[in-house]
Amino acid sequence: DTAVSQTPKYLVTQMGNDKSIKCEQNLGHDTMYWYKQDSKKFLKIMFSYNNKELIINETVPNRFSPKSPDKAHLNLHINSLELGDSAVYFCASGRSDLFSYNEQFFGPGTRLTVL
């Protein structure tokens, strides 16, 4: 019954490696997001997809590449991981039509640790 799910929950890897995080939502929403929450708990949007199209890209390094195979899935691939990429990454989904509420539903997060 999980609305927004992410895998894996924890990811520990070496610098320079490439890794992916997967996200799926079963809420029928048309918009999905990736957020990064740093050690100071600051939540910052990275990307947003609406119906498989990239609509928000918040000055994220090219090493981060989101992919949306369909509107229920949004994956995040990270190349050449760096120490500063260590954070909790949250996936979220929501509706984004005109004048609708912008309530977003969050996944449980993926804690990425780069050694």
The contact set with other proteins (CB under 8 A) reads: 4, 31, 33, 40-45, 48, 50, 55-56, 90, 92, 96-99, 101-109
Q: How far apart are CA 50 and CA 57, in angstroms?
A: 12
Cβ-based neighbours of 104, under 8 Å, separated by 6 or more? 33, 92, 93, 94
We find the least distance from the C-beta atom of residue 27 to other proteins, in angstroms, to be 12
> Of the two residues 31 and 75, which places its CB atom closer to other proteins in the complex?
31
Q: Exposed (0-12), middle (13-18) or buried (19+): which is 106, by Cβ within 10 Å? A: middle
> Of the two residues 4 and 81, which places its CB atom closer to other proteins in the complex?
4
* C-beta of residue 30 within 8 angstroms of C-beta of residue 96: yes
> Of the two residues 53 and 82, which places its CB atom closer to other proteins in the complex?
53
> Of the two residues 65 and 105, which places its CB atom closer to other proteins in the complex?
105
Could you say which DSSP state residue 83 is in?
G
We find the least distance from the C-beta atom of residue 64 to other proteins, in angstroms, to be 17
We find the least distance from the C-beta atom of residue 2 to other proteins, in angstroms, to be 11
